[in-house]
Amino acid sequence: MSRTGWLKLLYPVVVIGGIAVVIWLRLRFEWPLSFVLLVAGLLLTPGRIASFQLREFLRGLRAFELEKFLEAEHRFLNFLREVRANPAKKRWMYLLWGMYSWDIAAMAHNNLGAIYVMRGEAHAAERDLEAALAIDDLYAKPHYNLAMVEFLRGADRGRIEARLAEAKRLGYDGGSYDQLISAGQALLA
């Protein structure tokens, strides 16, 4: 199973397991509801801190979802400049849940590539998508987007299908679960 497949499987297990543990602790030790809410708030704090540290990336993601591609491009480029100036900033991603990649710079390059695909800029798209894969070679989404680049260039069906097959092998096929994940990420951005 691919890394993405494991993460897709593990995420609901972690969430449901965490909820079950909190419920069990509340019932076992008769914690008051206010204490349970305090614990829940403390558990959610690291993700909020990470969101603050990665705000330029998340704002770019929000702009992308709203199809404000120029703003999204600007924010992702700014974020990549921030990461180059302070590489430790990437570590904040570990407090969030990266379903497809744990490297947020790879994600920014993939998103820039997707923007360029939307604008029909095949060369720029390929440059950023290949940069994403150079950072994280197990990241499935750039392969999916490179299939779109091949389509833009009028490549033969075999090359396009090979890219799509690689994306699927790595855990991304653009199906309903992937769409649900994208919608959830957009809400959190």
Please tell me the distance from the alpha carbon of residue 147 to that of residue 157, in angstroms, as a whole number: 10
User: What's at 149, amino acid-wise?
Assistant: V
Residues in CB range of 91: below 8 A, 6 or more apart:
none
Residue 184: the pLDDT is 61
Tokens of 43: 């558990």
By CB atoms closer than 10 A (0-12, 13-18, 19+), residue 36 is: middle
Comparing C-alpha atoms, which of 174, 146, 178 is closest to residue 159?
146
CA–CA–CA angle 176, 182, 95 (5° rounding): 130
- Residue where the block lists tokens 């979802």: 65
pLDDT digit string (tens) for the chain, length 189 residues: 887 788 778 778 887 888 888 788 888 888 888 887 887 777 777 667 778 889 999 999 999 999 999 999 999 999 999 999 999 988 877 777 677 888 999 999 999 999 999 999 999 999 999 999 999 999 999 999 999 999 999 999 999 999 999 999 998 887 766 676 666 655 554
Category of 67 on φ-ψ map: left (φ > 0), alpha (ψ -120 to 50) or beta: left
Please tell me the distance from the alpha carbon of residue 116 to that of residue 124, in angstroms, as a whole number: 6
